[in-house]
Structure 1
Amino acid sequence: MTYNNTLSPQRLETLQALHAQAVEASQNAGQLVGKQQDILRTAQAKLAQLESYAAQYREQIQTLGTAGTAWSQVRDLRGFVDRIESAITAQKVELNRQQLILTELMGQWTAARQREKAFEVLIDQHQAQKRQGQKASALKNLQEWAVRRASQFLPSSQQRSDF
């Protein structure tokens, strides 16, 4: 089966409808990327906050250790810091997961944008072919007119007969 690349209004309408769908898909994918970037920023901020807490409590442990505070207080604070460290580890895992999701969504958005742009190229090509056809038709009409016009000035014996 061969591909029919004729210039039909239905073909242009189909390309335009597919382009509109591709634009919508691209916009939806872009919105998902934006939301995922927000989620990733939130996860990064949470990690930074946890790391800040851990640093503050480690500093507090050092201060308590040099001040001669009861061992049980230092032990309890170290246990708390260990829980914060566990939360930091879990948050790093979550951050990596969110980054992978973002990477996947970016790929989907890129593919949708490429499809959108491909339809734009096809529509432009279709319109260029249409313009080229219109120019060729206009040139043909002009040439026919010129031939008819020139034949008016030929002697009657050289005039073309269409009968």
Structure 2
Amino acid sequence: MKKRSKRLQVVLDLAERKRKQADQWLSQSQSRVQQGEATLEQLRSYNADYANSFYQVGASGISPGQIATHQAFMQKLSGAVQQQEKALQTDRAQLEKVKEYWQSAYQHFKAVEMLVDKLRREESLQAEKQLQKELDERSQLIRPPFI
């Protein structure tokens, strides 16, 4: 019969695979949030820059058509900012769920790893005891020459 630690090695391998997959998902989710934050910051910066440049140009006088074009563009830009904020909010919520999953997978892996290590130590101790027992039995079988 196989040792318990050997049988549980399969469970440990599966837990490790699950943990590594969770690591990848966590990394991807964090990257997605970072990219979303960077994109949102760029949109806000562009929005502010465009508004400031338009107001500077507008101080010298602009036509009603230019005002209408500016307002339409600013509305589209504001819509893009809102859309990015919603996407970022969704990405952050997903990141929290992925973190929970990663934590669960990591804890499971560590628990199985500790169990396998404990079983290996116990099996090693038992093997040492068995070896010592065999050595003791053999030493009793050998008769000294003076008897």
Please give the range of the TM-score, normalised by the shorter of the 2 chains: 0.7 to 0.9
Gaps of 5+ in 2: none
Q: Does 1:70 align with 2:70?
A: no
Q: CA deviation at 1:143?
A: 4.0
**Match for 2:75: what amino acid?**
D
Match of 1:56 in 2: 49
| Superposition CA RMSD, Å | 2.3
Q: Which amino acid aligns with 1:92?
A: E
Q: Indicate conservation of the 8 Å contact 1:22/1:116, yes or no.
A: yes
Structure with greater proportional helix content: 2
Q: Which residue of 2 aligns with 1:136?
A: 129
Paired with 1:152 and 1:53, the residues of 2 have a C-alpha distance of 97
**Aligned position for 2:107:** 114
Superposed CA offset, 1:63-119 (max 9, x none): 132111123312321231122112111211110110111121122122112211212
- Code of the residue aligned with 2:81 in structure 1: it is I
Q: Using the alignment, how far apart are the partners of 2:29 and 2:131 within structure 1?
A: 54
- Give the gaps of 5 or more residues in structure 1: 1-7, 156-163
* Separation in structure 2 between the aligned mates of residue 132 and residue 14 of structure 1, nearest angstrom: 18
Matching residue's letter, 1:36:
S
- Of the two structures, which has the highest relative contact order with CA contacts closer than 8 Å and spacing of 6 or more? 2
Map 1:16-35; keep pairs closer than 5 Å. Answer: 16-35=9-28
Q: How many angstroms apart in 2 are the aligned matches of 1:67 and 1:128? A: 84
Amino acid corresponding to residue 128 of structure 2 in structure 1: K
The 4+ residue runs of structure 1 with deviation greater than 6 A are none
Greater shift in the superposed pair: 39-48 or 135-144:
135-144
Q: Residue 72 of structure 2 corresponds to which residue in structure 1?
A: 79
Alignment partners' CA distance in 2, 1:108 and 1:9: 32
Of stretches 47-56 and 9-18 in structure 1, the one that deviates more from structure 2 is 9-18
- 1:104 — aligned with what? 97
Indicate the percent of aligned positions where both proteins have the same amino acid. Answer: 23
Is contact 1:61-1:74 (8 Å) kept? no
1:159 is matched with which residue?
none
Shift of 1:129: 0.5
Distance 1:82 1:61 in 2: 14
Q: By how many angstroms is 1:138 displaced?
A: 2.9
Q: Distance in 2 between matches of 1:113 and 1:50?
A: 37
Could you tell me the TM-score, scaled by structure 2's length? 0.84
Question: Of 33, 39, 42, which aligns to 2:32?
Answer: 39
Distance 2:39 2:113 in 1: 42
